[in-house]
Amino acid sequence: MTKSSGNVPTGRNQAVRVKTAKRRSVSSARWLERQLNDPYVAEARKRGFRSRAAFKLLQLDEKFGFLKRGQRIVDLGAAPGGWTQIAVDRSKSDKGGTGQVIGIDLLEMEPVPGATTFQMDFTIPEAPARLKALLQGPADIVMSDMAANTTGHTQTDHLRIAGLAEMAYQFAVEVLAPGGTFICKLFQGGAERELLAQMKKDFATVRHAKPAASRQDSSETYLVAMGFRNVAAPAAAPDEA
């Protein structure tokens, strides 16, 4: 099977205009218009992806090359399943098997073949515990596309998304194998400085990235941390004489 690429054709089709209707607000009309004119939305439907966000993960992987066959991958904020689909596809072996892909989201999502998914709020203590129970060994990748509901107040929204990223990171350092990768979404705004400083201590490389599939008018960005050092792991016992 040919692996999916993050490339999306950009044609010059005539833009679709959406007018406000009796029960459609101006903001709803603008959102619908943007969806209808978004080449990533059209290409996602064509390829059978659950969402345009699948292209963000594809483009991040094409840049950094962290997805490999046979990996254990945890997808936080998985719904509707675009990232989960890519994780399953990229972790497939030549014999058709996969490593292990687990997805969790506050929202309900349709099952993704080849993955284990469940609906639960990641911020409650039971959620990380359930993920750990499902993992069949240390994770190779923990990835988070979680985002809090926006309030309209920029600083508050930055703090909320940074809080989710910190929770995802805490979980990641508890389950990642040495050399593992952590990926999370943030909105630029300065609230991530402490998290970034800690990540630089725990990983060999930490990079900011804004994939082409991220909307240009969004402050959304991703942190990609590779080469987990696992400095908190206990030292191995010396061999007996």
> What residues act catalytically?
185
227: tokens are 């080469």
Which DSSP string corresponds to 13-32? PPPP-----TT--HHHHHHH
Number of other CB atoms surrounding residue 3 within 10 Å = 12
CB 102 within 8 A of CB 131: yes
105 in a known ligand binding site: yes
Residue 174: enclosing H or E segment and its boundaries?
Answer: helix 154-175
Main-chain phi, psi angles of 144, to 5 degrees = -130, 120
The DSSP output letter for 62 is H
Q: Buried (b) or exposed (e) across 28-42, using 16+ Cβ within 10 A?
A: eeeeeeeeeeeebbb
Conformational region of residue 129, where left means phi above 0, alpha means psi within -120 to 50, and beta covers everything else: alpha
83 in a known ligand binding site: yes
Which of 162, 158, 184, 160 shows the shortest CA–CA distance to 172? 184
145 in a known ligand binding site: yes
116: tokens are 């284990």
Binding residues for S-adenosyl-L-methionine: 81, 83, 105, 121, 145
